[in-house]
Amino acid sequence: MVIQSMTNTDTRDVEATVRQILTLEDAGCQVIRSAVVDEEAAAALEAIVRRIHIPMVADIHFDYRLALKSMESGVQGIRINPGNIGGIRKLRQVVELAQERNIPIRVGVNGGSLEKEILHKHGGPTPEALVESAMGHVSLMEELGYGNLKISIKSSNVPTFLKANRLLAKVCDYPIHLGVTEAGVGQNAVIKSALGIGTLLAEGIGDTIRVSLTGDPLEEVRVARSILDFLELSEKPGPELISCPTCGRTEIDLEHLARSVEKMLEKVDRPIRVAVMGCPVNGPGEAREADLGLAGGKGQGLIFKKGQIVSKVPEEELLSAFARELEEYIRELEQEV
Ligand code: SF4
């Protein structure tokens, strides 16, 4: 399962774009897409591609020359809407160069780009309308003899997104790129993406994913990683934090403890399970599946490993003692390899 994100820098600004892509690579991004708005942006891709380590997909609208120029700049993929690239003759030129260079083409459809006739026939951007439009584009590409395709159907409405992609998976064998488009900001956007993308992945639908959030793409990559981690689909799973919801037995600032431990785990790249529990009586038992954990008590806390208590420390030393235990546990894991 491949995580994709999209730069939000001006692609013509090579330095800023490369800087952002390198940060996204570090966070786990595996394919990057950049908007190509003009000739200068298409030309800039050459310098960008040379300095990054993940495949670049050029995102093109309307102008077939930008697709040609981007491919000449060495991108590893292009995303177009075959219906708006300027007609069959121009589309053929794009396909011929893609064929020559073995470059996959992602055919993207979303509610806002549907053909008038299809919208009219279905009475709006329904799942069936989205699939009909996508399959029309696929047929067009196949008629031109091109089959190195990826398909994406995007919608900002979760039920429409789910239904459209389920229908698509039934009628085509091409790889499917998943993304709930224009998901919004903050928590709601994360929930929308997790529901849309996560549900389909759990059903075995989807080959690449992009979480779209308004703002820093770094957050998109983090959310995408979490979706894959929690579904156990990550190629390189990271740590998992479990924390109890607190209840009348909690006598410690558990939210602070959980957030601090979450911060410590940002630097960990191993699939360990860490629990932060609110009471010393039930905590270690409830978090039996955790590799490592802490349980708060009144003025003190317990640190436990694989369900067994390893130390009891005053509340003010709990986080530093836990950090040491975490480091030691990671060292032990490294020695095992
Ligand atoms: Fe309550 Fe303790 Fe369970 Fe947390 S671990 S929910 S404090 S019983």
Please check whether residue 57 is in contact with residue 50, taking contact to mean a CB–CB distance below 8 angstroms: no
* Cβ–ligand 1 contact at 242 (below 6 Å): no
Distance from Cα 318 to the centre of ligand 1, integer Å = 18
* Cβ–ligand 1 contact at 252 (below 6 Å): no
* Cβ–ligand 1 contact at 283 (below 6 Å): yes
Distance from Cα 225 to the centre of ligand 1, integer Å = 28
Pick the closest to residue 42 from 24, 18, 60 (CA basis): 60
Return the pLDDT at 337. Answer: 67
Pick the closest to residue 5 from 147, 184, 28 (CA basis): 28
User: With 0-12 CB in 10 A as exposed, 13-18 as middle and 19+ as buried, what is 80?
Assistant: buried
Look-up of token digits 């490369």: 18
3-state secondary structure at position 78? strand
* Cβ–ligand 1 contact at 337 (below 6 Å): no
pLDDT less than 50: residues of the chain: none
Return the pLDDT at 184. Answer: 74
Distance from Cα 265 to the centre of ligand 1, integer Å = 22
Distance from Cα 224 to the centre of ligand 1, integer Å = 29
* Cβ–ligand 1 contact at 302 (below 6 Å): no
Question: Which residue's alpha carbon is nearest to atom 8 within ligand 1?
Answer: 282
* Cβ–ligand 1 contact at 282 (below 6 Å): yes
> For 225-262, b where at least 16 C-beta lie within 10 A, e where not — what string?
bbbbbeeeebeebbbbbebbebeeebebebeebbebbe
Torsions phi, psi for 226 (to 5 deg): -65, -40
* Cβ–ligand 1 contact at 280 (below 6 Å): no
Distance from Cα 294 to the centre of ligand 1, integer Å = 12
Return the pLDDT at 82. Answer: 85
> Mind listing the pLDDT tens digit for each residue in 32-85?
999 999 999 999 999 999 999 999 999 998 899 999 999 999 999 999 988 788
* Cβ–ligand 1 contact at 245 (below 6 Å): yes
Return the pLDDT at 18. Answer: 98
Return the pLDDT at 8. Answer: 95
Report if pTM > 0.85. Answer: yes
Return the pLDDT at 235. Answer: 83
* Cβ–ligand 1 contact at 246 (below 6 Å): yes
Q: What share of the chain is helix, strand, coil (3-state, %, to 5)?
A: 50, 20, 35
Question: Which residue's alpha carbon is nearest to atom 6 within ligand 1?
Answer: 246
